[in-house]
Structure 1
Amino acid sequence: MMISAPTLLLPPDPDTALVADGNIALDDPDLLAPFTRWMPGDSADTGLAESQFQLAGLHCAACAGIIERALLGLPGVRAARVNAASSRLTLSWHPGQTRLATILERVERAGYGAAPDAAAPARQLREREHRTALWRLFVAVFLMMQVMMMAAPAYFAAAGDLSPDLARLLQWACWVLTLPVLLFSAGPFFSGAWRQIRARRLGMDVPVVLGLATTFVASSGALFEPDGFFGNEVYFDSLTMFVAFLLAGRFLEMRARHRAAAVLEQTSADMPEAAERIEADGSSTSVAPNRLRVGDLVRVCAGQVFPADGRIESGLTTANESLLSGESLPVSKAVGDEVVAASLNLQSPVLMRVQRVGADTRHQAIQRLMREALTQRPAATELADRIAGPFLWAVLALAAGGALAWSFIDPSRSVWVAVSVLIVTCPCALSLAAPSARLAATGALARRGMLLVRLGLLETLCKVDTVVLDKTGTLTEDRMELLQAQAVGSETAPLLRAAQSLARHSQHPFSRALVGAALAPLASETDIWTQVQELPGKGLQGVDSSGQMWRLGAPDWVAEARGTVQAASLLDGAQLAFGGAAETLCLRFGELLRPDAREALAALHGQGLRTFLLSGDADERVLGLAAAAGVQSAQGAATPAIKLDVVAQMQAEGRCVLMVGDGINDAPVLARADASVVMGQGAMLARASADALLLSNRLMDLAKARELALRTNRVIRQNLLWSAVYNAACIPLALAGLLPPWAAGLGMAGSSLFVVLNAQRLARPLN
């Protein structure tokens, strides 16, 4: 079934499979997958879908409430949550009870734009919003300059230099030039105010429109009848300047939102349009990536993007995974190595066996988590939203009271006092103070390779005083390292190369560590082994080109080939051996500390944090690794229950705990901690309990994240303090009649610009 969608919102685009001939195949689960998550429904024949959308035209919390109310009135819509800061909608709905086209039309009728949060439609929506906003800003700024030139003689001419007729002509010219600004550039303010009033939700557009309308009506009255009620002063220059500066502030805020959305799009922009699937008979077929299935064999040439998560079946190459992990260096990929969707094959053609497709891929899961994070409303943001409504009512009361008081003092100034109060107190800066800073910080962390699942983590990180780390996969790499190799009855290097060659046939952690060992040159790619078998609990055995049987596995099992146990006891702590009838190679492995572990722990200590290593491994190994890495305290032999008790005891002592784990067996303690971060390799297993995913796997990014969180908190406080001081200083001046409308407009717009530009300092790349 095809669902028709408004072409205004989603124009045809040959680059996307979502749009074809003006229609959207939104009922196809494969096409819904990029922006929809399916959950069990209430009946057997229908399911509950949670879809993500990008919105256009939002400016404040009142806009979010209007859209939510409009959608909640539709049948089948369970919940609608809009984040005005990121212009994103999360919709829970039953596809069997309402059409998605109906939902999009309802958003449009409410006065806003909407598009599925997939790369092409969302990008089109942002481009259209950006283009329209730029035109409105251009018209406002250009005509503002013309109006100011027309108004300048009245301000600077000496008495008698400007004749009354010329002064009137210049005022009429200002009135004519102001009309396009009011009707076109200021259009969003009037439409937004009307929507807010109709929805009975007072937002920022209401006082803006009251100030604009009052200024224009009063100035027009003074122009048409100089000796009338409104006097003979006109403020068309103030009106156009107010609109231009307010639009400039909103334009910068919109650009910040668009940059945050672009970070999400980077993970999907390079997905291939087609994949080359190898059929059972050896032929190849070009198919869309969303048509691939688990078990398919796919050929990926150099320069192409991997279309799904999978495992290398044949070939050697390197891959660029920077879009997913923030790591810019190429990653080597050999037979048996896993590759992820959206990473780029850099070196040579390979065959890949598909393991995960569609919504199950790491790429899609990361996108979904980013969308969910951007739709959240942290407590500080919600507080600003709650304050905005009562604040606006207080502003309206002050404006009315000021006008009433001045009607007795000087009736000719009462209207201008009310206008100044309405303009100067517009709470744009208050509503932008926290969201703009959080969005900028979130984008900076995402570019670094750290994905926030919950935006509240930025606030919690500022309170953290203790960092608890897991050992395996967190403080150490998620792989083993070959520490020592020693041969019996032969030279070590040739045996090691042969062992590496046989190890390529296994995915066991020891085998993978042996293949990647740097103690000897890599073995030749020529496979000399036949009759290779992998015996569970023992290891690998195979026959070489001369017909000799070799074994790679448990030392005692390998020693059986020689008829002696001498090799099994040759090295203390040897976990693996390789040998045949006359030669044996004993191998000892150990955990590999992450390259930046010592530097990261030193940085955390420098920030005044305490560190604690908590692991289920033996005490001796845990204490030794803690000493090598520089961790202050450590405890081994910790089961998941013990880990939970240790963190709970720390919290009972008043500590604020950040737990860092690999997400495999740490889910309970991750959920219990005040803040939690999961390493990239375990991210998908612990996404329900983690506050952030460290896709880069760089521990140093933890210290960078806390440093950025502290800076974000300072910027938010600066923005809120600026808003409070600005209003506290300007409201009395406006009520006293000392702040003309043009100065009020300049102050309000300047306040919003300061907040946005101050927040954008956080978007700079982290060193």
Structure 2
Amino acid sequence: MPLDVLDDPVEQQRFTRWVEDGGRQVAESSFQVSGMYCAACSGVIESALTGVDGVVSAQVGSASQRAKVRWDPKRTQVSALVKAVRSAGYDAVPDAAAPAREQRRVERRAALWRVFVASFCAMQVMMFATPSYVATGDELAPDLRQLLNWGSWVVSIPVLLFSAGPFLRNAWRSLRLRRISMDVPVALGILVTFIASTGATFDPDGAFGHEVYFDSFTMFVSFLLAGRFLEMTVRHRAAESLEAALSGMPETALRLEPNGEAMPVSVLRLRAGDRVRVPLGSAFPADGRLLIGPTQADESLLTGESSPVTRQAGDEVVGGSLNVGAPVDMQVERVGADTRFEAIVSMLRDALSQRPALARQADQWAGPFLWGILALAGLAAVAWSWYDPSRALWVAVSVLIVTCPCALSLAAPAALVAAARALARRGVVLQRLDALEALASMSRLFLDKTGTLTQDQPALVALRDASGAVLDLTASPVEVGDAALLAAWSAHPLSKVLAQRAPAAVEDRWQAVREQPGSGLEGRRADGSVWRLGSRAWVLGSSSDVAPATDQPVVQVWFGPVGQLRWCFEFAEQLRPDALSAVEALRAGGVGLGLLSGDASRRVAHIAEQVGIADVVAGAQPQDKLAHLSRAQARGERVGMVGDGVNDAPVLARADVSFAMGQGALVARVHADAVVVSGRLQDVVMARQLAQRTMQVVRQNLIWAATYNLACIPLALAGYLPPWAAGLGMALSSLLVVGNATRLAYARPGPV
């Protein structure tokens, strides 16, 4: 893509959002970066980006190869950011599917060619070296041995100049920036081996001796490239599966013009209030409300729920979900970055661009460790030069290669990113990768009631007449249908539930409708009578009326002419279908449970009794919830919180790990560590089980990487590990770590 196109504000909507930073509005763009091979590359790219005038901050994730950059559009442009990455020796494209796929194709093709050239040349060099290994005595004449060495040197040149190019460039780039990366000891080993072997080839009686190591050199490069190629393949598959999960938003939409004609337009041109036609099998291009229904929507990409959900006229639909029922028309309410789909994409990109705390800790000791490697290799060369000078060189090279801590640097990030992918596929989007560590060790979890343990909307459970007698909801009087039609004028949650009982194909009979906040609705019928729907006092027209107490935790909504009670609708909260099973699973997993709610004590106690939670705080203000959670933390417990309301935001931010339900308030989702997009409480259980499994994998990776280095370093120092074997071991070690972490992306939920 031409760089000037990236500076088009309309095009930037695909990979850029506006955020507030230090009291000012700045742009935040996401990129995919190619050419990264180790954790140290993240620091190099971040330095290059922050060196651009106008860049506020830059975060680069080595495991996901994604960058998130905040920049001031008054001082710089996107093209300048990409140029900075390229000047550092890497490449970057907007984090959108098409350019990312092309970037992966180019990267894969180049890597495959490097592996092919190195492997082909290694086979040829082995053919030239074999006579030297199998010949005894004077069977191989000196001039013929020298000719074979010359042939090995010629064949090794393409390996040095082409196949080993990434190692040499990355090492030079790090040294030029006064940094040390994993590729420095690798490049040093490559150069020392090639130069020493070249010296022995040109002058067998010179300082380098007569032994050549072209076979070890070419085999090491081919093994290491093969390992990185397989690692890259795993990473590319991860990116492809992630794109498949996030590519649900269409690029065009059929916008209905005032004359009723459907015109195809870019989704970037849609605005709130536009009417859009969505054919069968197409994705909804934005968040909105159905004008024509019913239909079914496949929301599996957003929630992980495989079964389509039914949507009627007037129901909300989510951009990115698939229309699988019938052709429908919808009205756009939210577009672009305001849609729920783009919010999920943004959260996931943020998480994948982070450098986890475990990786940051590894970065802190990576520099001293690599300097120690160089010192150890130098000491080994000095020691062997006294004992057996002919072996000093390749012992030092083997030490440089075998101690390269690539596997250690990948141990934690690879596992955390794989777990984040697995959670996203099941409807849980992480906003902070470090939350997995806290979630795995969580000992107590506090739950909000409304919208968390219970469903978002209450259910209509009973209909009574003025005398209190219970009536059959399925055979309700005509006036009940009128109440439902009146309720359709309001956006109140109780009104939405009642409006679902409005009779189909019936013209609205209400006129001069008005809503009194906190009281209810009022409307005039065709005969001139005025009816009200709402509280008992509102319908009676008396502010002094007091509703009779009831033993049941229900909400009563009355309906009738002003001053006269006719019908009473009773609503009650309903537990989420998976609430009981989720609570039981958490308790069985050793998690203590508490219920924090700002609702009335009677309703909270009723729900707590149903799910069996004894630690209950009712009528709680945000500061009360915060104090209760802080006391648990003071006792040394690792505390989690699940909520969905505005009043839950402070406690979500304070908890060690927190979840916001996907339909909850925006401020709650912003302060949470993860968003349960699926709305299933059982997914919190699944997330904890996966977090525990992730920490197990991280420990396995760290133990393996450390064991490999501790076992192989003595072998290399003792001269039992030739350079080619050291290269093979390092490549296989990194591949094993990545493969072990990749298992998490396909792990089935279950107790650890």
Are residues 1:509 and 2:485 paired?
no
Q: Name the structure 2 match of 1:62.
A: 40
Q: Does 1:308 align with 2:286?
A: yes
Kept in 2, the 8 Å contact 1:294–1:354? The answer is yes
Q: Describe the shift of the 1:267–1:719 C-alpha distance in structure 2 as closer, same or farther (beyond 3 A).
A: closer
Deviates more, 1:276-285 or 1:598-607: 276-285
Aligned partner of 2:64 among 86, 109, 112: 86
Mapped pair 1:137 → 2:115: yes
Match of 2:15 in 1: 35
1:414 pairs, out of 392, 411, 419, with 392
Choose from 691, 716, 723 the match for 2:673: 691
Unaligned runs of 5+ in 1: 1-9, 11-21, 517-521
8 Å contact 1:256–1:440 — kept in the other structure?
no
> CA separation of 1:448/1:228 partners in 2, compared to 1, >3 Å: closer, same or farther?
same
Shift of 1:539: 3.8
SS at match of 2:476: helix
Whether 1:727 aligns to 2:735 is no
Q: Alpha-carbon deviation of 1:435? A: 1.0
Structure 1 residue 513, shift from structure 2 partner: 2.7
Determine which of 388, 407, 424 is the counterpart of 1:429: 407
SS, match of residue 592 in structure 1: coil
What is the CA–CA distance in structure 1 between the aligned matches of 2:504 and 2:194, rounded to whole Å? 80
2:636 corresponding residue in structure 1: 654
CA distance in 1, matches of 2:528, 2:121: 89
Q: Which residue of 2 aligns with 1:713?
A: 695
SS of 2:264's partner is strand
1:327-346 matches, within 5 Å, as 327-346=305-324
What SS does structure 1 have at the residue aligned with 2:605? helix
| 1:493 and 2:474 are equivalent in the alignment | yes
Q: CA deviation at 1:235?
A: 2.9
The aligned runs of 1:161-240 (5 Å cut-off) are: 171-240=149-218
Given that residues 555 and 572 in structure 2 are in contact (C-alpha distance below 8 angstroms), is that contact kept between their aligned partners in structure 1?
no
Structure 2 Cα separation of the partners of residues 696 and 586 of structure 1: 34
Aligned residue type for 2:497 = A
Q: Name the stretch that deviates more: 534-543 or 405-414.
A: 534-543
Residues 761 and 157 from structure 1, CA distance in 2 versus in 1: closer, same or farther, beyond 3 angstroms? farther
> Residues 632-684 of structure 1, C-alpha deviation per residue, up to 9 Å, x if partnerless?
42221112121111111111111111010014320011111111110101263
| SS of 1:311 mapped into structure 2 | strand
Q: What is the aligned partner in structure 2 of residue 116 from structure 1?
A: 94
Residue 249 (structure 2) pairs with residue 271 (structure 1): yes
CA distance in 1, matches of 2:707, 2:368: 18
1:397 Cα deviation from its structure 2 partner: 0.7
Q: Report the Cα offset of residue 296 of structure 1.
A: 2.0
How big is the shift at 1:172?
4.6
Partners of 1:213 and 1:265 in 2: CA distance? 39
Alignment of 1:52 with 2:30, yes or no, is yes
**Percent identical:** 52
Kindly state the Cα deviation for residue 157 of structure 1 after the two structures are TM-superposed. Answer: 6.3
Query: 1:679 and 2:679 equivalent?
Result: no
1:244-643 map, 5 Å? 244-266=222-244, 268-485=246-463, 492-495=473-476, 499=480, 502=485, 506-514=490-498, 525-531=504-510, 533=513, 535-536=515-516, 537-539=519-521, 553-554=533-534, 556=536, 573=554, 575-576=556-557, 586-643=568-625
Q: Matched residues in 2 for 1:219 and 1:749: separation?
A: 23
Deviates more, 1:239-248 or 1:50-59: 239-248
Where does residue 95 of structure 1 map in the other structure?
Answer: 73
Structure 1 residues 763 and 138 mapped into 2: Cα distance closer, same or farther (>3 Å)?
farther
Alpha-carbon RMSD across the aligned residues, in angstroms, is 3.3
Alpha-carbon separation, structure 2, partners of 1:753 and 1:152? 29
CA contact (8 A) 2:118 2:159 kept: yes
Q: Which SS does the other structure have where 1:478 is aligned?
A: coil
Question: 583-592 or 703-712: which moved more?
Answer: 583-592
User: What is the CA distance between 1:473 and its match in structure 2?
Assistant: 0.5
Q: How far apart are the structure 2 equivalents of 1:390 and 1:334?
A: 63
Contact preservation (8 Å) 1:556, 1:568: no
Paired amino acid for 2:11:
L
1:24 to 1:340, Cα distance in 2 relative to 1, 3 A = farther
> Does the Cα contact within 8 Å between 1:571 and 1:586 map onto a contact in 2?
no
Cα deviation for residue 551 of structure 1 reads: 6.2
1:509-556 deviation digits (Å, cap 9, x = unpaired): 23433455xxxxx87632243335464433475869xx8989683375
* Structure 2: distance between partners of 1:540 and 1:268: 45
Displacement of 1:93 in angstroms is 2.1
CA displacement at 1:153 relative to structure 2: 5.3
The CA distance in 2 between the partners of 1:615 and 1:51, in whole Å, is 38
Q: Counterparts of 1:492 and 1:340 in 2: how far apart (Å)?
A: 31
Distance (whole Å) between structure 2 residues aligned to residue 569 and residue 552 of structure 1? 22
Any conservation in 1 of the 2:514–2:523 contact (CA below 8 Å)? yes
Moved more, 217-226 or 592-601: 217-226
Aligned partners of 2:76, 2:537: CA distance in 1, in Å?
Answer: 65
Partner-residue secondary structure (3-state), 1:637: coil
Q: 1:108 to 1:24 in 2, by over 3 A?
A: same
Quick check: 1:447–1:765 contact (8 Å CA) kept in 2?
Answer: no
C-alpha displacement of 1:38 = 2.4
Aligned-pair CA distance for 1:312: 1.9
What do the CA deviations read for 1:393-450 (whole angstroms, capped 9, x no partner)? Answer: 1111111111111111111111111111111111111111111111111111111111
2:30–2:69 CA contact under 8 A, matched in 1: yes
Worse-superposed segment, 125-134 or 247-256 = 247-256
Distance 2:672 2:745 in 1: 23
Whole-Å Cα distance in 1 between the matches of residues 463 and 73 of structure 2? 61
CA offset at residue 31 of structure 1? Answer: 2.4
TM superposition shift of 1:576: 3.4
Q: Residue type matched to 2:646 in 1?
A: I
Tell me the amino acid that sits aligned with residue 509 of structure 1. P
Deviation at 1:687, TM superposition (A): 3.4
Cα distance, 1:676–1:747 mapped onto 2, change above 3 Å: same
CA distance in structure 1 between the aligned counterparts of 2:132 and 2:614, rounded to whole angstroms = 73
* CA displacement 1:191-226 (0-9 Å, x = unmatched): 111111111111011110111112222233334444
1:39-93 residue CA offsets vs partner (Å, 9 max, x unmatched): 46899xx953222211110112332222222233332223333222222222222
> Quick check: 2:32–2:66 contact (8 Å CA) kept in 1?
yes
| C-alpha contact (below 8 Å) 2:7/2:79 kept by paired residues | no
Does the aligned pair in 2 maintain the 1:558–1:579 contact within 8 Å? no
* Range that drifts further, 347-356 or 229-238: 229-238
Q: TM-score, normalised by structure 1?
A: 0.88
Unpaired segments of 5 or more residues in structure 2?
A: none
Residue 51 of structure 2 corresponds to which residue in structure 1?
73
